[in-house]
Structure 1
Amino acid sequence: MSDQVIVVDDEAAIREAIQQWLELSGLAVRTCGSADAAMALVDHDYPGIVISDVRMPGSDGLQLLDRLMQLDADLPVILITGHGDVPMAVQALRQGAYDFIEKPFAPERLLDSVRRALDKRRLVCENRQLRRQVADKGRIESQLIGMSRAMENLRRQILELAGTSVNVLIRGETGSGKELVARSLHEFSPRTEKPFVALNCAAIPETIFESELFGHESGAFTGAQARRIGRMEHADGGTLFLDEVESMPLAQQVKLLRVLQEKTLERLGSNKSIKVDLRVISAAKPDLREEVQAGRFREDLLYRLNVATLQIPPLRERREDIPLLFEHFASEAARRHEREVPPLAPGQLAQLLSHDWPGNVRELANAAERHALGLSAAAVEEPAAVQSLAQQMERFEAQCLRQALQQCRGNIAAVMEQLQLPRRTLNEKMQRHGLSRTDYLPGGAE
């Protein structure tokens, strides 16, 4: 979203002066001589703010404020007057004005208020977009939230694979959402009406692993007092999700491979073959090829499981998604605990964006829940000495470039205009941060 400002004043000289001040600061400005002209430019999702004089013929600034608040109560409106007094300022603020500035004023005073108002508007628009995504429960965007190119690519790959029956291996760090991706593959597939069965291979003791996976007959071993249907049989017609598959015992890897090859299984303690039709989705943290080389994983099973691979990007590589995800998790937590979401304090958003999130989305969700409960989000509070000021500025600059390239879909001219940078400077900065416009073109096209 570009920083847009509408300036409303019946005096052309004042409109032009304010426009010049703001445009020199890199803002996109449109001017209007009346309240009616301004209303024609604003809708409920206008991605900017309004600055208006109070004393104008026809509809004055207070009347314009009232009309704008009826259209969108979250739209920041800054009022300016040379005839202001305390009662008028109080009335304006009660009506919903963001700020009230009295003439004559220093340009810096207005610019500071404008920048704060634009920051607020940007968050409001982003949160509305998130809520629209989440409200549409039939769309994958409501399950895999994010506007980054990495998440767009992941959702596209999921939808392409969901309609097939191939086995999929999901790679991703701890807390990155591997089970959520697996569930999406199932829910957007023809198997969606059948069971989705999840098994964490690292959480099952080796002594009962075979029974858990394949089931057993009564009396198959000491303590087996009744027949048990295993996870694979229960997933018949649907999807079996094997999380942390690298932890599966080698003896069970052999049996799993045979089931995948023959599409039949035998319960422990039985010689009867049972046909099963299932799709296997696996997830692993380490590279399974390295596990094969180390002798901890069967190569032939890897080929069966890894027909297609999905790589989940860590949260630190898609920082532009952090505000949307944080708002979503905080709102969900507040709803569960029946309370209002407290606003982010100054600097907290910058902390969220600068944190590396080693625990990924799971860690962010935990921080958001603590925030919703009014507790310290300790996960994002790092010692100031962790990074120098220069390092933090470099990281912030890289994030601004990535976000502009994403929003402009690789259009360099649009990025130059948005960031107010000459071509040579932009090229140098992109090269220094390892950014390429081709990574942001629609569909990855040149």
Structure 2
Amino acid sequence: MATSSSAPRILVVDDDADMLQLLAMRLQSAGYRVTTTGSAEAALAQLELERPQLVISDVRLPGRDGLALFDEVRQRHPALPVILLTAHGTIPDAVEATARGVFGYLTKPYDSRELLEKVTQALAVAAPASPVAHADEGWRTGIISRSSRMADLLAEARLVARSDASVLLRGDSGTGKEVLARAIHRASARAARPFIAVNCGAIPEALLESELFGHVKGAFTDATSNHKGLFQAADGGTLLLDEIGDMPPALQVKLLRVLQERAVRPVGSSQTHPVDVRIISATHRDLDAAMAAGQFREDLFYRLNVVALTLPNLGERREDIPLLANHFLDKLAAKYGRKLSGFAPEAMKALIAAPWPGNVRQLYNVVEQVCALTTTPLVPLALVQRALRTPSVQVLTYAEAKRRFERDYLVGLLKLTDGNVADAARLADRNRTEFYRLLQKHELTPGHFQSRARGEGLSPSGDNEA
């Protein structure tokens, strides 16, 4: 299988030549570029020649071990994730390294699927600050994405842009509806003409009519001169009616008339003025429910909803979070005059896992807060947790803390012994019957901790005794 020159590069370190070759083959077959070395010293030398997006290293190496390599990598390249490969006896060392910031570890013999999943997660954390842009993609300036969900949406948007059809953009608050509307305008034949946006829910009803359609002198108390509305200002271009679902019913009737007649009549005037405007509307509201409740006109809805595009929320495009976060960090670091190199791996993991009810807008606000407050080149986890209002220390009851410790302890023993109950019970200084009771209490199955290679043909008891 040919590997793309733009594919992520992974540096693999292991003194076992067979293991090194096997790892390289599996990663290359998954489409990654792989560089291999047999020692920590050689790996550090390779890092000086070419920086990969990920390091995978065995813990046990001749000379400097994998933990020392991790420390050196963390010092030189703080944002570069490291995955450790460990045998049973080195699990405690790997757990300690995880607490110090290593991205994760896998026990030997490892499962190929688990390896590739961990690699995918680590590469998401190590994503570049911005995607590669093609020369013809100026129309989508400001849209940072590599997700398939967004790629499909953008392909539809560009197709729609070629026509003059009205577009209804749906999506939660903060998903980027105005950004997409501007992109559609840039990709259209109207790109050289004005793009004007108005938030229909942010302007009082009495002023919104005048803002949209204009007014003549003397139309009302403060009308001291003629005023062109936004429809006339956008003539030949595009008008975005943001939060169209919040438009008052009386104005919905007047808007429908403008769309039907393609002409506006300013407030207080008896004359109409022809306008040539492409309408894009946007809403976070459920317009179907609003129509059923009599709050939104069906005839206006069908005028606006010639083509509907729905923007995914940030939780549905999590692979874009590292791209967006790093893009915003670069932008805001320049704004604040700060020298920042990125997010610590654990901080990026927290960003990726966050719920994001405010979507991309909330992510921007979080990045702006950490950018303003960080005192180190690498944004730490604590600042991200603070910006997300996530407690950095979870307060548990004594009983819950004890239960969690006991379960984690049992899981660690089963991993250490590859699911061998006899060995695990012996290490815990408990008889096998009592140990089985503990496993049953915490709903743990020993067989789940046996590697695939050693798990074939084992007794159903899970003792795994020779």
The answer to whether TM tops 0.5 is yes
Contact (CA 8 Å) 1:48, 1:118: kept in 2 or not? Answer: no
Establish whether residue 51 from structure 1 lines up as the match of residue 50 from structure 2. Answer: no
3-state SS of paired residue (1:202):
coil
Cα 1:17–1:317, aligned 2, differ >3 Å: closer, same or farther?
Answer: closer
- Tell me the equivalent position of 1:209: 208
Contact (CA 8 Å) 2:214, 2:230: kept in 1 or not? Answer: yes
Please give the residue correspondences for 1:46-445 in structure 2 after superposition, counting only pairs within 5 Å. Answer: 47-48=33-34, 50-53=36-39, 69-72=48-51, 82=62, 122=123, 126-127=127-128, 130-133=130-133, 138-140=137-139, 142-341=141-340, 343-345=342-344, 347-374=346-373, 376-377=383-384, 378-383=386-391, 384=394
Cα 1:167–1:291, aligned 2, differ >3 Å: closer, same or farther?
Answer: same
What does the per-residue CA deviation read over 1:140-182, in whole Å, with 9 as the maximum and x for residues that have no partner?
5543222222111111111111111000111111111111111
Contact (CA 8 Å) 1:367, 1:380: kept in 2 or not? Answer: yes
Shift of 1:242: 0.6
- Distance in 2 (CA, whole Å) between partners of 1:301 and 1:321 is 35
What does the per-residue CA deviation read over 1:365-387, in whole Å, with 9 as the maximum and x for residues that have no partner?
1111112223533343435589x
- Distance in 1 (CA, whole Å) between partners of 2:246 and 2:363 is 26
- Distance in 1 (CA, whole Å) between partners of 2:73 and 2:171 is 49
**Identity over the aligned pairs, expressed in percent?**
36
- Tell me the equivalent position of 2:17: 15
3-state SS of paired residue (1:209):
helix
Cα 1:46–1:136, aligned 2, differ >3 Å: closer, same or farther?
Answer: farther
- Distance in 2 (CA, whole Å) between partners of 1:195 and 1:226 is 23
- Distance in 1 (CA, whole Å) between partners of 2:64 and 2:312 is 53
Contact (CA 8 Å) 2:172, 2:313: kept in 1 or not? Answer: yes
What does the per-residue CA deviation read over 1:188-226, in whole Å, with 9 as the maximum and x for residues that have no partner?
111111111111011111111211110011222211111
Q: Which moved more, 1:195-204 or 1:246-255?
A: 246-255
Shift of 1:292: 1.6
Contact (CA 8 Å) 1:351, 1:381: kept in 2 or not? Answer: no
- Distance in 1 (CA, whole Å) between partners of 2:203 and 2:21 is 66
Shift of 1:247: 1.5
- Distance in 1 (CA, whole Å) between partners of 2:125 and 2:357 is 28
3-state SS of paired residue (1:309):
strand
- Distance in 2 (CA, whole Å) between partners of 1:261 and 1:172 is 26
- Distance in 2 (CA, whole Å) between partners of 1:231 and 1:150 is 33
Structure 1: runs of 5 or more not aligned? 31-44, 55-60, 390-419, 423-446
- Distance in 2 (CA, whole Å) between partners of 1:249 and 1:278 is 21
- Tell me the equivalent position of 2:26: 28
Shift of 1:72: 4.1
What does the per-residue CA deviation read over 1:395-436, in whole Å, with 9 as the maximum and x for residues that have no partner?
xxxxxxxxxxxxxxxxxxxxxxxxx999xxxxxxxxxxxxxx
- Distance in 2 (CA, whole Å) between partners of 1:218 and 1:163 is 39
- Distance in 1 (CA, whole Å) between partners of 2:27 and 2:225 is 75
Shift of 1:122: 2.5
Contact (CA 8 Å) 1:250, 1:298: kept in 2 or not? Answer: yes
3-state SS of paired residue (1:327):
helix
- Distance in 2 (CA, whole Å) between partners of 1:354 and 1:293 is 36
- Distance in 1 (CA, whole Å) between partners of 2:122 and 2:216 is 63
3-state SS of paired residue (1:225):
coil
- Tell me the equivalent position of 2:380: none
Matched residue count: 355
3-state SS of paired residue (2:363):
helix
Cα 1:358–1:65, aligned 2, differ >3 Å: closer, same or farther?
Answer: closer
- Distance in 1 (CA, whole Å) between partners of 2:350 and 2:260 is 50
- Counterpart residue type for residue 390 of structure 2: E
3-state SS of paired residue (1:254):
helix
Cα 1:183–1:17, aligned 2, differ >3 Å: closer, same or farther?
Answer: closer
- Distance in 1 (CA, whole Å) between partners of 2:333 and 2:205 is 40
Shift of 1:358: 0.6
Contact (CA 8 Å) 2:10, 2:54: kept in 1 or not? Answer: no
Q: Which has the higher contact order (CA 8 A, sep 6+)?
A: 2
- Counterpart residue type for residue 37 of structure 2: I
- Distance in 2 (CA, whole Å) between partners of 1:114 and 1:286 is 40
Contact (CA 8 Å) 1:175, 1:360: kept in 2 or not? Answer: yes
- Counterpart residue type for residue 335 of structure 1: A
- Distance in 1 (CA, whole Å) between partners of 2:335 and 2:360 is 19
Contact (CA 8 Å) 1:175, 1:361: kept in 2 or not? Answer: yes
Contact (CA 8 Å) 1:73, 1:96: kept in 2 or not? Answer: no
3-state SS of paired residue (1:203):
coil
Contact (CA 8 Å) 2:328, 2:364: kept in 1 or not? Answer: yes
Contact (CA 8 Å) 1:197, 1:239: kept in 2 or not? Answer: yes
Shift of 1:250: 1.7
Shift of 1:5: 4.5
Contact (CA 8 Å) 1:242, 1:282: kept in 2 or not? Answer: yes
- Tell me the equivalent position of 1:392: none
Cα 1:205–1:287, aligned 2, differ >3 Å: closer, same or farther?
Answer: same
Cα 1:313–1:333, aligned 2, differ >3 Å: closer, same or farther?
Answer: same
Shift of 1:234: 0.5
So what's the TM-score if we normalise by structure 2?
Answer: 0.64
Cα 1:47–1:356, aligned 2, differ >3 Å: closer, same or farther?
Answer: farther
Q: Which moved more, 1:362-371 or 1:287-296?
A: 287-296
